[in-house]
Structure 1
């Protein structure tokens, strides 16, 4: 589920197929609804989520599919589509992964209007572009999952070279640097699928500044977790904000992993 920058889609599907050869992978195509004015695309996320839930319910009924085995992966606006699908499906999905969920018109809204921990048994989120421009950020800043991972603080991604963010709200005119930051969430997830021997770990911390000072580099009491596909649900009922450093290129495993 996406809506933007589908040139990476075949890489994600191929990586999933290699990792889970017996899995059925379904791509939700809602490009005609996503490639509209941003407010209109936002309004369409609920509709697409409901239609996705209808498909999942049909698969439950006709294919005897177990919801615990369903893993929805959504990028940008698609992350909220996945949230709506989880909210409207008959039962509880096993997992939703949000890849830098869109921020504008979703930041600080009620849980039922965006991706939230209520939408699946396990909701994990990668935040890679939370830098503000004109008071908002392309990727959502607030924690919206059971675990929320902020690579490199969530506002800077090595190798992207972002300097000018003016005009970033006009999704159709995002420059390559902005795209790089936002899309890094997808590539980190793909990296977690294909580079199992170079697994990246994030560490629980109250904020990015404390992590950068090296205060939170402990795995005691489940304070660290693998990122991407390998992430595991914590036994804690509280949301966990987690941080890590990455390299500029795949494999992204950095110094503190």
Structure 2
């Protein structure tokens, strides 16, 4: 009973995120910023910090790195569902201060424009607090702002106020509405911190098009996410699913359950066309990954200016796809156009990749390179099947002869490169074969 009463008194003394409801949003809220501190000593119990005198809070150690978590527009006023998980994962990663910037009174308005105008004021409030931290001995180098949607621009304003000296800003799908034609001073941009990384998931709706960091990650091209509803009949999730995916991908990256490889490229279509599957600029480091710790690539990225990187995901956890570069040489008499289906088998289980984003050209003695992305990971591949669909349903079936097929794993360098030589296929018919080790001569 003593323990229960201790837990009860602890939970009563926790400072929780402001919980508002729709009536507040209808009436409109005026800005009030609260700062909730979490450390490894109080992972599940926030402690509100005083803006003027934060050193009064004994859990606040100014010499530790500090991450600020900044939410975006809250049209319903409810606390973000992901906040607790993000706090826990950050603290599992590092012994730091995590400060949740609760500006729900301000973000919770049915009028989005009002919330946008409050971002400047909230940013000034946060800037003053960080200056106070500096006076207490905190280093700007070790401050990381993580901003979601409208919060990404708020983070950018703080960084700009501090002349870009903050260590890092992460923007998770920075908000698009009211920012699409904004200049660099009016939105998040690379000059706002020593290092700025951005993840895009909804550029054609609530997110912002373009590149706004030293590195910009574009999930599935940055606009439409797999598994999200395509029609308005799905209700609320039609509007928020793509936009929220940025947070869920980031949680997954922090959890280290999905370390997704991303490839520098000028566009998603070039990436799907297998034109960007090397990462020469980062050697000896591998291709960039969607992870929390980007330090292996940071110096190179800062030198390179702005880098766009692309990757594809599946529709659910752990989001990672199994990717192969497929090279083959065709030797067929007639020119054919088609799409390619590839299946990898291990026993009776299989996973399929469809390379159907555009029609491919198969002609005599031509080498073709594809990017094949599979939803499921199969580590030991016993059989591979391929089908080339040309859409030819009348007339004779033409044969397509592949002199060589080569499968190179892209993000699993320890796995073997697989080959097969001289395969005769008929269009629209599946052919199966056992992969062989490639002759390295």
TM-score, normalising length: structure 2: 0.52
The one of 71, 80, 83 equivalent to 1:2 is 71
SS at match of 1:195: coil
The alignment covers a number of residue pairs equal to 242
Whether 1:83 aligns to 2:156 is: yes
CA contact (8 A) 1:56 1:89 kept: no
Instruction: Provide, for residues 224-248 of structure 1, a one-character-per-residue CA deviation record: whole Å limited to 9, x for no partner.
Output: 3122413342143321111001121
Query: Which shifted more, 98-107 or 225-234?
Result: 225-234
Tell me how large the CA RMSD over aligned residues is. 2.0
CA contact (8 A) 2:163 2:192 kept: no
Q: Which residue of 1 aligns with 2:259?
A: 199
Flag the structure with more relative contact order, 1 or 2, with Cα contacts below 8 A and sequence separation at least 6.
Answer: 1
Query: Which shifted more, 82-91 or 98-107?
Result: 82-91
Q: Which residue of 2 aligns with 1:184?
A: 245
Cα distance change on mapping 1:98 and 1:91 into 2, 3 Å: closer
Query: Which shifted more, 237-246 or 69-78?
Result: 237-246
CA contact (8 A) 2:195 2:302 kept: no
Q: Distance in 1 between matches of 2:231 and 2:221?
A: 16
Whether 1:210 aligns to 2:303 is: no
SS at match of 1:253: coil
List structure 1 segments (4+ residues) > 3 angstroms apart after TM superposition. none
Structure (1 or 2) with the greater helix fraction: 1
CA contact (8 A) 1:74 1:81 kept: yes
CA contact (8 A) 2:225 2:315 kept: yes
Q: Which residue of 2 aligns with 1:114?
A: 187
Q: Distance in 1 between matches of 2:189 and 2:164?
A: 16
Q: Which residue of 1 aligns with 2:107?
A: 34
1:13, distance to aligned residue in structure 2 (A): 0.8
Structure ID, larger Rg: 2
CA contact (8 A) 1:67 1:91 kept: no
SS at match of 1:230: coil
1:107, distance to aligned residue in structure 2 (A): 1.4
Q: Which residue of 2 aligns with 1:68?
A: 141
SS at match of 1:218: coil
CA contact (8 A) 1:107 1:142 kept: no
Q: Which runs of 5+ in 2 are unaligned?
A: 1-69, 324-410, 412-441
